[in-house]
Structure 1
Amino acid sequence: MRAEVDHGVAELVAEPDRPTAWTLLVNGTAQSHVDLADPTHLEFEYVRRLGHVLDTAAPATRPLRVLHLGGGAWTLARYVAATRPGSWQRVVELDGALVDLIAGRLPADGLDIDVRVGDARYELQQLPAGSVDVLVVDVFAGARIPAHLTSVEFVGAAARVLDAGGVHTANLADGAPLSFARAQVATAAAVFPHQAMLASPEVLRGRRFGNLVLVAGRAPLPVPELTRAAAADPFPARVESGTPLRRFAAGARIVTDRSAGPSPIPPPGFFGQPEQ
């Protein structure tokens, strides 16, 4: 089905071999995949990697306080509700009509997911200090990450709401020469002493455009656990941290509100976009 939303056209596409599964596209860009019967099923590669971050953020089944910036179809919020019952979760989505569409067509009743309509950075700044265990940033305007969510001031706001052992994670998209991703690592390093990056080897080597999941925190990150989980995926990923990640970001400038720009335009066909 297709529907007009605040920022274009949304489409929910049924999956032929999974009768309870749907893919959400907005303006032709694949935003989310949800299986209503099995919220633990994470279809997209980068979402699986974000799932690994959530899985390793605390001992199994322990409830978490999770803020999701970027709503889509609330895939990861549903995942956390299924794997960590009793978690406090808030999803922030700018498009109110999209929120209404998802609530009506892909309901998440009884999962205790608080969905707010608003700007991601503004809503982040309204939360009390130390009130979040995991911050998941997965915001795209069309197929690009908005500039105001890429700066050191934004990362500083993220650090403020996280508790001492909290984890900041962001879905990035970039291709050779990976200038955007390198700058995002350098920017996170200006705020958080510990960082890691999950991505496929082809993307890390700049051989193709793709997703990179950035993880950062004040406390040491569970890199061995993330490495094992990412390596066991159907499409394995590498985890870079420590000296290799510092080399990856060497020479990159820290992004500020004054210098920030959106992520690169993806090539035709990426994110489910039609060929031009």
Structure 2
Amino acid sequence: MARREPREPMPGRYPVTFGEVDLLQDLDRSSGWVISKDGVPQSYVDLDDPTYLDFEYVRLMADVVDLLDEGPLDAVHVGGCACTLPRYVAATRPGSRQVVAEPDGGLVQLVRDQLRLKSVPRLKVKILDGRAATAELADASADLLVLDAFSGATMPIELATTEYMGDVARVLRPAGTLLVNVADGKGLAFARRVLATVGGVFPRVALLAEPGVLRGRRFGNLIVIASRAALPLPALTRRAAGGLTQARCVHGEDLVKFVAGARPLNDGDAVVVPVPPPAVFG
């Protein structure tokens, strides 16, 4: 029987469980596709080259993944959308087993139908929110947990608390790594509190971000890296400074000073999650 060619995606606006999303083709890369919601880009995938990462913060997370011990990974991704990083892990670390938690079932179906999600080997998607999905996972079952969950342009506060980080620590193996994508702007008050929270659970923590974001000059993404084992800080510092996305790696005393005075987040805290100004997305 002749092999059926994969269906080409169809750009347009699609209903999903929580509203509508736009599926847009990259004008510069015919195999590149963006999912956007309410004008906010949520995910970019290149269907022909899963190692091409268009979003700068995803490149930074991939730099961390590249520096983990060689071989397949047992990975958990809280927040899925088009599954950019799971595709990258599957391509660069064959044999990896991955679980994605994405609460929007309509969005998952759209990605299956339009963006070849079924082609990603050993990937399981759970239609659950992050806390429920994490609670189902076995103790010490993951080498990597990636927290990249947003409702529009804001991070769900329930995924940034001490209580949730404790469950994340339960799921990670002793040498496992946590990656958290945090978005913040002037003053970086929210990012500092997330770092204080993570640092209260994991003894080794570092931060990756572009200099302009670190100085609070513009709204942007910051990547928190945490583990109970030693982090590859020298290699990570070199990667961050010399990559396509030039960033700083903050750790040790510099990170202590950065976080100083910030209180950890706890369930039930009244917290204002930062929202990007309209100009960020044009």
Instruction: Report the TM range for the smaller structure's normalisation.
Output: over 0.9
Choose which of 140, 159, 162 in structure 2 pairs with 1:130. Answer: 140
What stretches of structure 2 of length at least 5 have no aligned partner?
Answer: 1-11
Letter in 2 for 1:129: D
User: Aligned equivalents of 2:272 and 2:240: distance in 1?
Assistant: 27
Deviates more, 1:66-75 or 1:259-268: 259-268
* Correspondence 1:1-276 to 2 at 5 A: 1-59=12-70, 62-110=71-119, 111-259=121-269, 261=271, 263-270=273-280, 272=281
Letter in 1 for 2:257: R
**Taking structure 2 as the reference length, what is the TM-score of the superposition?**
0.93
Letter in 2 for 1:240: V
SS at match of 2:205: strand
Any idea what the Cα deviations from partners look like across 1:187-215, whole Å, max 9, x if unmatched? 11110000000000111111111100001
8 Å Cα contact 1:137-1:171 kept in structure 2: yes
Identity, in percent, stands at 46
Q: CA deviation at 1:231?
A: 1.3
Q: Tell me the matched-pair count.
A: 270
Q: CA deviation at 1:224?
A: 1.2
Any idea what the Cα deviations from partners look like across 1:131-172, whole Å, max 9, x if unmatched? 000000000011100110110111111000000000011000
User: Aligned equivalents of 1:141 and 1:195: distance in 2?
Assistant: 25
RMSD across aligned C-alpha pairs, in angstroms? 1.1
Greater relative contact order structure (CA < 8 Å, 6+ sep): 1
**Taking structure 1 as the reference length, what is the TM-score of the superposition?**
0.95
Which of structure 1's runs of 4+ aligned residues deviate more than 3 A?
none
Distance 1:262 1:89, change over 3 A: farther
Any idea what the Cα deviations from partners look like across 1:39-72, whole Å, max 9, x if unmatched? 000110000011111111222xx00010000001
SS at match of 1:40: coil
8 Å Cα contact 2:60-2:245 kept in structure 1: no
8 Å Cα contact 2:176-2:228 kept in structure 1: yes
What stretches of structure 1 of length at least 5 have no aligned partner?
Answer: none
Q: CA deviation at 1:225?
A: 1.5
